[in-house]
Amino acid sequence: MMRGSRDLLIVMVLAVAGLAVALWPAAPVVLSAPLGIALALFLPGYALIAAMDSRQATGHVELLTLRLGVSIVITILAGLLLNLMPWGLQRQPWGILLAGITLAAATTAILRRRSSAPALGAEIRMPTLRLQPMQAVLLVLGVLLLANAVNTARNGAINQPTQGYTQLWMVDKADAAPGTVRLGVSNQEQKPQRYLLRVTDGGSMLSEWKDIDLQPGAQWEITLVLPPDSNTKTPVEAWLYRAEDLNTLYRYTVRWSEPGAPGT
């Protein structure tokens, strides 16, 4: 009897393998890629169609298309469901949900095939796929388009833009008189920024620059000559704020004039 359900047993084994890979954080791409694609785009539809109609009277090409289509619909609905859950669209929940659907549908299909067998020992013939040349060409093109779509989605997920940052510095200027510093700001954020910069000496205001507008990747720098009386043990501090939130310190650096004191 189980010989007539060998295709479903293979589907169940592949679903379990896909689940194991989804739960294995260090799974190699050579395993995770094919099993993940199969679990998302073929196995759920195969099992569900088999559970709905164990006779599989549909033509082979139409049946293959139906399996792919149903799998895609299941994956989309699963994504919508997972997006509402606290854990979101993570790899492990995807594997658990899709493998669970596949295993449940395959088990149902096996039970239906057993109950529909006309007599003890009867065997349900596994469908064979016979394609015309043009159908084979279209199938290959479809697989190539699918592989390209998966690769594009994967590259897009890997190459997500990194979080930007802002750099602030105040360093002694080489080959200049003592007390001469380079003061600068660099915008490496993902959008234009407007800054406010203050420099204090021992808590007293030395200078202030408002409306420092920088595009992404741009920087602003000036040469600042500190007062002679700043060569004490008190620090010279630079305080940087974003114009959109002047109540929150965004970057800070400090310069100690006394030799051997803490640096910036």
In CATH, the number for domain 165-256 is 2.60.40.10
The helix/strand/coil state of 170 is strand
Q: How far apart are CA 174 and CA 31, in angstroms?
A: 56
| Exposed/middle/buried for residue 11 (C-beta within 10 Å: 0-12, 13-18, 19+) | buried
| pLDDT tens digits for range 176-195 | 888 889 999 999 998 999 99
Beta bridge pairs of residue 237: 200, 254
Closest to 183 (Cα-Cα) out of 196, 173, 195, 174: 173
pLDDT (0 to 100) of residue 35: 86
The helix/strand/coil state of 211 is strand
Q: pLDDT at residue 196 above 90? A: yes
If one compares 184 and 139, the residue with the highest pLDDT of the two is: 184
* Alpha helical stretches, state H, the chain: 6-23, 29-41, 43-52, 60-83, 91-116, 133-158
pLDDT (0 to 100) of residue 263: 43
Q: How far apart are CA 17 and CA 15, in angstroms?
A: 5
Residue type, 45: G
Beta bridge pairs of residue 204: 201
Question: Left (φ > 0), alpha (ψ -120 to 50) or beta: where does 95 sit?
Answer: alpha
Mean pLDDT of the residues in the chain = 80
**What percent of the chain lies above the pLDDT cut of 70?**
73
**What percent of the chain lies above the pLDDT cut of 90?**
27
Q: Do 38 and 14 meet the contact criterion of CB atoms below 8 Å apart?
A: yes
User: Could you tell me the residue ranges of all domains in the chain?
Assistant: 2-129, 165-256
Q: How far apart are CA 78 and CA 25, in angstroms?
A: 21
Residue 159: which pLDDT band, with cuts at 50, 70 and 90?
low
